[in-house]
A and B are shown apart, each in its own frame.
Chain A
Amino acid sequence: MKTFTRIAVAATLGAVMGTTAMAEGLYTPNLAYRTGPFAATGIPLMNGQADYMSMLNARDGGIGGVMIDFDECETGYSTEKGVECYEKTKGKAIVTQPWSTGITLQVLPKSNVDEIPILAPGYGFSPMADGKVFQWAFNTPLSYWDGASIILKYLEEQGDLSGKKIAFLHLDHPFGKEPLPYLEKKAEAQGFELVPIPVGLKEMQNQSAQWLQIRRERPDYVIMWGWGAMNAGAITEAVKTKFPMENMLGVWWAGHDADLKIVGEDGKGYKSVSWSFPNPDAPVMADVKQHVIDAGKSQTNEEEMQGVFYSRGLVISAILAEGIAVAQEHAGKAEISPADLRWGLENLNFTEERLEELGMTGMVPPFSTSCSNHTGHSGGWILEWDGSKFVKASDLIMPDSEVISELETASAQEYADANAPWPVNEDCEM
């Protein structure tokens, strides 16, 4: 009886505390990966995300007068743990931030049932751009196909790609394979040879075989789709094999300051496409410093704050915060539902003026979304490692929207057919 009473009291307390937590604000969980082999990439991103939300809570009292309950569920970048985190948080979450293409693919079908938006900025499944098919998924402001397209456009600026050989060094994981359909299509159309070179999860720190293949194949360029420990492994091997660094370009997750610091000057010339860029003079940075860093509410440090990934974390949370603000205005209430947030994320309009209002000028290119366009296709910059930090090496380059749009529609339809019956937003005009 005594035990039963204890259980009943605990259950009642739990229920009360749960209700209190719900009333505390808008619950926006982040499926973080601060541990495991990918932690080096994850930590600055997660810090940036958390700090931006903490800054809004401290400076503005949240968004629209309601506090943001920003919580992390640790996945270690494991798909299984990510799905567990999704199930654990979905009860009161207004958004899911899955933080891995593998987890995104797993929760994608669930989003139609649970009706919670998936926000995957700069990652996930590229056809998610088709909002008519993927009603609940958003990969603003650029998809992986956009990223691959921007890299190819940049390379074309350096010279005709016809007859050239491009090695595609990628993590042997859904994330790494994601741009392959686009690259294969472009290789056929533009007449360059694509050599895919997979890197297994256990081989990330020992890529000598992959780089021996690169030495044998003698590619003109290496495009790297790396994440976490793979980046440092690839860059050190590139230096070791004396591959010309100026001919090596990575996706935005392979443009992390800490990875390049391992090789320092030897990495000079390495490039990475990016849809975000640090602006230490931006007003938002001063606000984060004042309200979060100096207040001792952050896990970051001065050095990390200057980096590309921390800045990107801030931008990612700003996208979510803007979606919430737009949704609140549209719904006419502060306590919005996941469905309201979906509307907000479908009506983002990051103009230059809005970015200035947010104090984020130059930190992300302008972009807007709609019910049919869940990506925004903002365009990106090519960043170059100068031996100590990343600097901009190009103006804003827009992706090849004609080819990508065609591929997105076809792939989205293929996905919907393979997962039939798949609900489609018939009200949305393409």
Chain B
Amino acid sequence: MLNDIFIKPFVDMFSAPDFLLQVLWEGLVSGILYALIALGFVLIFRSSRIFNFAQGIMVVFAALTLVGLHAMGVPAWICVLLTLAVMFGLAVTIERVVLRPLVGQPDIILFMATIGITLFLIGLGEIIFGGENKVMITEELGIPTDSVVFEPWGGLLILEQKDITAVVVAALLVVALLAFLNKTRMGRAIRALGDDHQAALSVGISLQQIWVLVWFIAGIIALVTGIAWGARAGVSFALEVIAYKALPVLMLGGLESITGAIVGGLMIGMLEKLFEIYWGQPLLGGNTETWFAFVLALIVLLFRPQGLFGERIIERV
């Protein structure tokens, strides 16, 4: 037993390094997509202290809007622009109809409101687009669909071009987001709201504008995530459950840290894949990915309750 836990997995890794690389690559792709979903959560939480339960359904809604518009004969790139317009409209509506009337209410009320938004978007999406699985317009968007095959150490490593595209686009999106938050006036306003609500309001930062902006950015992230996941296995409401994988990412990285969301996503993506392949499947019958990330996050929370990159809050009484 001890051999199976402490020795055999590492022997397997080094005896088939091409396979280990494949496992790490698959983990990296999953991780970057988890990180993207977590980023949507973090942005909204930083600026409004709202834990946005609707981030998962926003991924589905954005992807469905994109393929739904294309099914109506709209050219692919126009669909992207129109979907962005829809996500902007959604951000404005959420701010105006849901959030503004709830300003000053306890956090739990705002959290419950995002559950309401989730249920509403599920119903609206099903009415407009139906529940059938839809094909993502991958080729129409110019995303390559072939594979790149390498033979490291005489083995086999297959990289899907659409996965490579997803990784590159996600990385660019993160860089752009960081630049926006650090280098622009609006970005600094978002950070200011996150640091101190009252102080930010007192210097004239508009809460309403910032909320619309962060929900719209979360919508853009949702669209990119929806395209990336949808290109892998189609677009359906099942995509929503993937958002739950962002929860341990947030626990691990910290609810307020963009760096935490990225590092947490990548860590969970790769570690859960390594654990599943080298320990979970041989010793536990597999399917450990459903719980591994949560256990890992709980262990981290035991030692760092604020997460790896979260702010340590000290309250003196």
Chain A positions within 8 Å of B, measured between CB atoms, are 34-40, 42-43, 172, 196-210, 212-213, 215-216, 228-229, 232-233, 236-237, 240-242, 258-259, 261-262
Cβ contacts A to B, 7 pairs, < 8 Å: A39-B126, A202-B245, A202-B290, A209-B276, A209-B281, A233-B232, A233-B233
Q: A216-B19, A240-B147 are in contact. Are A200 and B290 (CB under 8 A)?
A: yes
- Contact call A205/B233, Cβ cutoff below 8 A: yes
- Contact call B131/A39, Cβ cutoff below 8 A: yes
14 extra interface residue pairs, beta carbon distance < 8 Å, beyond A34-B131, A202-B245, A202-B289:
A36-B238, A37-B238, A202-B242, A203-B287, A205-B232, A205-B242, A208-B30, A209-B276, A209-B277, A213-B281, A216-B277, A232-B234, A232-B236, A236-B234
Q: Which residue of A lies closest to B273 (CB)?
A: A209
A280 to B68 Cα, complex, angstroms: 28
A43 to B126 Cα, complex, angstroms: 11
- Contact call A206/B23, Cβ cutoff below 8 A: no
Q: Which residue of A lies closest to B239 (CB)?
A: A205
- Contact call B238/A228, Cβ cutoff below 8 A: yes
Of listed B122, B158, B245, B286, residue having the most chain A CB within 10 A: B286
Of listed A196, A198, A207, residue having the most chain B CB within 10 A: A198
Give the residue of B30, B135, B281 whose beta carbon is less than 8 angstroms from that of A262. Answer: B135
- Contact call B133/A258, Cβ cutoff below 8 A: yes
Please count the residue pairs between chain A and chain B whose beta carbons lie under 8 angstroms apart in the complex: 128
Which residues from B are CB-within-8-Å of A229?
133, 233-234, 236, 238
Q: A35-B126, A39-B132, A212-B277 are in contact. Are A240 and B242 (CB under 8 A)?
A: no
Query: Within 8 Å of chain A (Cβ to Cβ): is B22?
Result: yes
A388 to B23 Cα, complex, angstroms: 32
Which residues from A are CB-within-8-Å of B236?
37, 39-40, 205, 228-229, 232
A160 to B126 Cα, complex, angstroms: 47
A237 to B30 Cα, complex, angstroms: 14
- Contact call A205/B158, Cβ cutoff below 8 A: no
A215 to B238 Cα, complex, angstroms: 25
Find residues 22-42 in chain B having any chain A CB closer than 8 Å to their own CB: 22-23, 26, 29-30
Task: State the Cβ distance, A385 to closest chain B Cβ, in Å.
Answer: 15
Q: Which residue of B lies closest to A299 (CB)?
A: B130
Which residues from B are CB-within-8-Å of A198?
285-287
Which residues from A are CB-within-8-Å of B234?
205, 229, 232, 236, 259, 262
Of listed B19, B132, B133, residue having the most chain A CB within 10 A: B133
Of listed A197, A209, A232, residue having the most chain B CB within 10 A: A209
- Contact call B290/A232, Cβ cutoff below 8 A: no
Residues of B within 8 Å of A, CB-based: how many?
A: 40
Which residues from A are CB-within-8-Å of B22?
212, 215
Per-residue CB contact flags for chain B residues 267-297 toward chain A (1 = under 8 Å, else 0) read 0000011001100010001110110000000
Which residues from B are CB-within-8-Å of A37?
236-238, 240-241
Query: Within 8 Å of chain A (Cβ to Cβ): is B111?
Result: no
Per-residue CB contact flags for chain B residues 250-265 toward chain A (1 = under 8 Å, else 0) read 0000000000000000
Say whether chain B's binding surface is mostly helix, strand, loop, or mixed. Answer: helix
Which residues from B are CB-within-8-Å of A200?
287, 289-290
Query: Within 8 Å of chain A (Cβ to Cβ): is B229?
Result: yes
- Contact call A242/B238, Cβ cutoff below 8 A: no
- Contact call A172/B131, Cβ cutoff below 8 A: no
A37 to B244 Cα, complex, angstroms: 14
Which residues from A are CB-within-8-Å of B237?
35-37, 39
Task: State the Cβ distance, A224 to closest chain B Cβ, in Å.
Answer: 14
Question: 8 closest A-B pairs (Cβ-Cβ)?
Answer: A39-B131, A229-B238, A37-B238, A40-B133, A200-B290, A208-B26, A198-B287, A233-B233
Which residues from B are CB-within-8-Å of A202?
241-242, 244-245, 289-290
Q: A39-B132, A200-B289 are in contact. Are A212 and B23 (CB under 8 A)?
A: yes
Task: State the Cβ distance, B56 to closest chain A Cβ, in Å.
Answer: 11
Find residues 121-161 in chain B having any chain A CB closer than 8 Å to their own CB: 122, 126, 130-133, 135, 147, 158, 160
Task: State the Cβ distance, A378 to closest chain B Cβ, in Å.
Answer: 28
Which residues from A are CB-within-8-Å of B126?
34-35, 39
Q: A199-B287, A205-B238 are in contact. Are A240 and B133 (CB under 8 A)?
A: no
Which residues from A are CB-within-8-Å of B244?
202
- Contact call B132/A35, Cβ cutoff below 8 A: no
Per-residue CB contact flags for chain B residues 208-240 toward chain A (1 = under 8 Å, else 0) read 000000000000000000000100111011111
Task: State the Cβ distance, B199 to closest chain A Cβ, in Å.
Answer: 40
Which residues from B are CB-within-8-Å of A204?
233, 238, 241
- Contact call A206/B286, Cβ cutoff below 8 A: no
Q: Which residue of B lies closest to A232 (CB)?
A: B234
Of listed A42, A205, A241, residue having the most chain B CB within 10 A: A205
- Contact call A36/B131, Cβ cutoff below 8 A: yes
- Contact call A205/B132, Cβ cutoff below 8 A: no
Q: A35-B237, A202-B241, A209-B273 are in contact. Are A262 and B23 (CB under 8 A)?
A: no
- Contact call A43/B130, Cβ cutoff below 8 A: yes
